[in-house]
Amino acid sequence: MTELNETTVRAECRAWLEANWDPNLGLVEWRHKLSESGWGNPHWPSRWYGRDLPVGLVPVVKEEFARIGAIGPAEAGIRVLAAATILAHGSDMHKEKFLLRIMTGEDTWCQLFSEPGSGSDVAGAVTRAEMKGNQWIVNGQKVWTTSAHKAHWGLLLARTDWDAKKHAGLSYFIIDMKQPGVTVFPLRQMNGHASFNQVFMSDAKVEPEFLVANVGDGWAVTTTTLMHERRGADGLRTWGKGSTRPERAYEEERAEIATTMEPYKWYPQRAGRVDLVMPRAKETGRIADPVVRQEIAKLLTMSKAAEWTARRARTAQAEGRPQGPEGSLGKLVSSHIARAAARVHTQISGADALLTGADGPMDGVIAEILVSVPATSIAGGTDEIQRNIISERVLKMPRERTGDSDKPFKDVPRNLVG
């Protein structure tokens, strides 16, 4: 057996791509070939469309794909989290049924965790799954569900035991979204976009074999999904860039990116658009105002220092050194940057900051920044939750006593909604 190292992996991958990559194939057809070869997700098990490659060598494979311009497996959206969760906890039946169609992009997935009554406290879910006859019957409401209106399958966290304590009463299911018991409504945000959905489940059905792991294991499985979400958060939201080349596979990929990225089109604005601050200040002449200059400099200082802090964390990881506290700060600092950037942008634009759409500067982008940045400090773990995580896990400060860990969940005080 060939030794696995950067050189051998690169050579083998390159040879396979040179022999097989064909941009005139259909996207799904090409991805079937990819899945057979194992080069699409080389870190997956060889039994399940992968090559057992250590995660550290995956970037080498990605470089080879980029070099030749080959398209990879479908990776955007919740489907990567579904794949990671199924690989970790799913049955062989789940792997057989779902992994291939995840890779080819034929199936779209959504994540049914958050509820109106449980935002930061995901384990407080009250969506109910009951075994009736030979089926799980699901009733409840989920929220902040990206792509639910397009999804074929959902990753569902539901309560199966109300006498157990909070975390122990949860189970994890894969639910068919295209059934009469599931209704999806778009959720309109304060910035006018509707990137997320509300999902109502009313006597929705789940076949018993679509339970993931065992009854009562729901929280452990959810933790896996969330861990991958956090790890891949940047990737999920990266603005997809398709090739502009004319061949069929590229054309189909462009259409796929456009569909997948549609909900995320305001995401650059929610991060504050630091990149636009200096050009806007020059364009408006506000660059001459010493007060504006101070504010811009403060923002750039924070933004650069945050970037360098992230680089320190990544370098430690790449060198195999233990990461210091710098690795846990990115989410929190991004909120500070977004807020400061919104403030500076509106300061620069003055009265024009009020104008939206075609009336506003940059076709409304500046106004959209102000009404989009509040999402940054809430989505994916609020600033308050981030501070709890930093203080408890990094600084080892004592955990707070919660009001829900010592009694059956049915006796825990909770919100009236949901």
Partner 1 sequence: MKFSFSSEQDEFRSNLRRFLTDRAPVKEVRRLMDTDAGWEREGWQAMNAELGLTAVRIPEEYGGHGFGFGEHCIVLEEMGRALVCAPYFATTVLAAGAILHAGSDERKAALLPGIASGEVVATLASAEDDGSWDAVACTTTASATGRLNGHKSFVMDGHTADLIVVLARGPAGLAFYTVDGNATGLTRRLLATMDPTRKLARLEFADVEGTLLGSADGAYERVMIEAAVCLSNEMAGGAERLREDSLAYAMMRMQFGKPIASFQSMKHKAADMLLEVELAKSAAYYAAAALDEGDEDIAAIASLAKACASDTYSQTATHAIQIHGGIGFTYDNDTHLWYKRAKSSDVLFGDAFYHRERMMQNWAA
- Selected binder of partner 1 within 296, 344, 371, 373 (CB under 8 A): 296
To partner 1, the closest distance from the beta carbon of 175 in angstroms equals: 36
- Selected binder of partner 1 within 188, 231, 265, 298 (CB under 8 A): 298
To partner 1, the closest distance from the beta carbon of 291 in angstroms equals: 11
Q: Alpha carbon of 266 to those of 230, 348, 363, 370: distances in Å?
A: 20, 21, 13, 11
Say whether residue 162 binds partner 1 (CB under 8 A).
no
To partner 1, the closest distance from the beta carbon of 293 in angstroms equals: 5
Give the interface segment with partner 1, choosing from 60-68, 266-274, 302-310, 366-374 (CB under 8 A). Answer: 302-310
- Selected binder of partner 1 within 66, 131, 354, 397 (CB under 8 A): 397
For residues 212 and 174, is the Cβ–Cβ distance under 8 A? yes
Of residues 8 and 391, the one with the C-beta less far from partner 1: 391
Residue with token string 């057809």:
29
Q: Alpha carbon of 245 to those of 259, 339, 410: distances in Å?
A: 19, 38, 58
Say whether residue 378 binds partner 1 (CB under 8 A).
no
Say whether residue 275 binds partner 1 (CB under 8 A).
no
Say whether residue 120 binds partner 1 (CB under 8 A).
no
Question: What is the contact mask toward partner 1 in residues 307 to 346, using x (rule: CB under 8 A)?
Answer: -xx-xx-xxx--x-x--xxx--x--xx--x----------
Q: Please give the distance of CA 49 from its chain centroid, rounded to a whole number.
A: 23
To partner 1, the closest distance from the beta carbon of 128 in angstroms equals: 32
- Selected binder of partner 1 within 66, 297, 354, 417 (CB under 8 A): 297
- Selected binder of partner 1 within 133, 246, 290, 322 (CB under 8 A): 290
Say whether residue 230 binds partner 1 (CB under 8 A).
no
Exposed / middle / buried, residue 140 (Cβ in 10 Å: 0-12, 13-18, 19+): buried
- Selected binder of partner 1 within 67, 245, 387, 410 (CB under 8 A): 387
Say whether residue 132 binds partner 1 (CB under 8 A).
no
Q: Enumerate the β-bridge partners of residue 197.
A: 186
The DSSP-derived string for 257-285 is HHHHHGGGTTHHHHTT-GGGHHHHHHHHS
To partner 1, the closest distance from the beta carbon of 6 in angstroms equals: 20
**CA 196 – CA 176 distance, rounded (Å):** 18
To partner 1, the closest distance from the beta carbon of 55 in angstroms equals: 20
For residues 144 and 98, is the Cβ–Cβ distance under 8 A? no
The DSSP-derived string for 317-332 is HHTTPPP-GGGG-HHH
Q: Enumerate the β-bridge partners of residue 307.
A: none
**CA 175 – CA 79 distance, rounded (Å):** 14
Angle at CA of residue 40, ends 36 and 45, nearest 5°: 70
To partner 1, the closest distance from the beta carbon of 302 in angstroms equals: 7
Of residues 179 and 294, the one with the C-beta less far from partner 1: 294
To partner 1, the closest distance from the beta carbon of 300 in angstroms equals: 7
Binding-residue total with partner 1 (CB under 8 A): 45
Residue/partner pairs of 176-183 with CB below 8 Å, 24 or more apart = 176/152, 176/205, 176/206, 176/210, 177/110, 177/148, 177/151, 177/152, 177/153, 178/152, 179/204, 179/205, 181/138, 181/205, 182/154
To partner 1, the closest distance from the beta carbon of 44 in angstroms equals: 31
Pairing between strand 109-112 and 153-159? parallel
To partner 1, the closest distance from the beta carbon of 64 in angstroms equals: 26
Q: Alpha carbon of 372 to those of 88, 193, 365, 384: distances in Å?
A: 35, 10, 10, 19
- Selected binder of partner 1 within 88, 137, 227, 390 (CB under 8 A): 390
Residues that bind partner 1 (CB under 8 A): 278, 281-282, 287, 290, 293-294, 296-298, 300-302, 304-306, 308-309, 311-312, 314-316, 319, 321, 324-326, 329, 332-333, 336, 384, 386-388, 390-392, 394-395, 397-400
